[in-house]
Structure 1
């Protein structure tokens, strides 16, 4: 580019950047806070090069980090960032208890799990749920965009996409998890188990529908097997139902329903045909 073209480009960028409504914290800082907070709650893993820091000091540092993340968004918060940070950490014990129930549910129902420690340290399903529950606290405090940055960070690491506005009950179990999508207005009850590739999505993606319930409701004690797709804000899966693999569901089902997909599979011997 010539100097004149370069200057024109810089001016275009400046005009566009000035039009953005929000300034946001950096994505690396968001990721560091998430991982530090989960490790603070569950200090199961240990670095080869270990630094001994008191729990109280770590807690204060996490408070400082969250305040830093909230600073660019401060003008959009309903209260100042200090009070938002205080309210967030006031809720942390309840979220900790909820995450213990999630980890215990995964350990209890996955035959491959050696125990709660393995689930917390290794399982992508638990990690995505933990980030969701942390982000959901900020959503309840009316913090814009930062909760979504957190869940997208988890999405990038696990392949599990849970919108922070979704409502999810206790003892949630995501097994394997790759390809799971849970939309913004989805409601999930307690003791629900979801396997890889499940989508709780919308039938209408028009922008005009943004303020309406677009995603399904899953009641308590439901199991949804791999690659099932359940769509629509009016779709309710009744409690204690089982949704089989590869099901495409756009209508409600009663409690205690078994919904399954059938396909014809033919096996032939290549040796016999040769």
Structure 2
């Protein structure tokens, strides 16, 4: 068989494997969806607003720079959010809830963008505290500029704070596209649904996983390889995971979790000021001020008598 005939045969066999229509089905082609490149471009534009100078030289006029960047970001975001919004109700059957269709996608997407833009000063305020946390939390950091230019944890939390705001505004698809793009860059996987307080620092970062329903307090520090994940989750009568329930841990203020530790479960609360040593597997809550260690294959939780600094556990 020559190549032309093989192509015709393959095309004929492929055709029945794609379903047309508006339903969000496993075999539906991805004709109508946000453009990946445009979502990433919007993320880049927003990075330049939040950390001016990372990608472009100093402008002659700061206000004009902000206006131009925000206009470009807003236009790009609005177009992609408009494409994403129908997925609110297209997936509703799987979520067991009926979401009303939107009559005017342009107006709703524009309102979402305006609300998102209104949140940017608060995001910037949080990121300043994240920069401080990285500088103060790592003796290898010799300047704030080094943190802003070279630390993957800061890239990850910046992307997350952008994606999380869009997630709160119930924008489908786009927050997850942003987070997975950043995951590919940094090796840090933060679901956009996770709630993270101020002064957050991920040291080194590679292999960190933070699940959708995590609640992380202020001034929390994680090292590489940490997983804040779910236990086995309940299924509905169709055998599908039940959505929108607390599946991931709560980590209170001033907690340190060292490298390659795994903390699982929506009912697991890591108390204020707890230190979790490296290579710990934990599925239970800890009192405030605990020290959690792994000894002889088991986990020991005891009250921490003195502060622990650095990575010396």
Q: TM-score range by the shorter chain?
A: 0.7 to 0.9
SS in 2 for 1:8: helix
Match of 1:175 among 182, 199, 203: 203
The match for 1:189 is 217
Indicate conservation of the 8 Å contact 1:189/1:218, yes or no. yes
Deviates further, 26-35 or 131-140: 26-35
Q: Distance in 1 between matches of 2:8 and 2:153?
A: 52
Once the two structures are overlaid, the 10-residue window that deviates more, 50-59 or 248-257, is: 50-59
C-alpha separation in 1, matches of 2:108 and 2:17: 30
Q: Corresponding residue for 1:271? A: none
| Residue number in structure 1 paired with 2:82 | 71
Which segments of 5 or more consecutive residues in structure 1 lack a partner in the other structure?
Answer: 265-274
Hey, what's the Cα distance between the residues in 1 that align with 2:19 and 2:111? 33
Measured at CA, do residues 17 and 124 of structure 1 come closer, stay the same or move farther in structure 2, by a change above 3 Å? farther
More helix by share: 1
Contact conserved, 1:159 with 1:179, CA < 8 A, in 2? yes
Aligned partners of 2:257 and 2:277 also within 8 Å: yes
Q: Structure 1 residue 221 and structure 2 residue 230: aligned? A: no
Number of residue pairs the alignment of both structures matches: 263
Q: 2:19 aligns with which of 7, 11, 15?
A: 15
Q: Which residue of 1 aligns with 2:140?
A: 112
How has the CA–CA distance of structure 1 residues 17 and 111 changed in structure 2, closer, same or farther, with 3 Å as cutoff? farther
C-alpha distance in 2 between matches for 1:259 and 1:150: 34
Q: Between 174-183 and 115-124, report the one with greater CA deviation.
A: 115-124
Tell me which residue corresponds to 2:275. 242
- Pick one of 176, 183, 198 that aligns with 1:155: 183
Q: What do the CA deviations read for 1:149-196 (whole angstroms, capped 9, x no partner)? A: 110010000000000001111110111100000001111110100000
User: How large is the RMSD of aligned CA atoms in angstroms?
Assistant: 2.4
Residues 269 and 286, structure 2, Cα contact 8 Å, conserved in 1: yes
Number of the residue aligned with 1:142: 170
1:42 lines up with 2:46 in the alignment:
no
Q: Distance between the aligned counterparts of 2:134 and 2:263, measured in 1?
A: 22
- Contact 1:24 / 1:146 at 8 angstroms: preserved in 2? no
Does residue 257 in structure 1 map to residue 293 in structure 2? no
- What TM-score comes out, normalization by structure 1 length? 0.87
Matched residue SS, 2:248:
coil
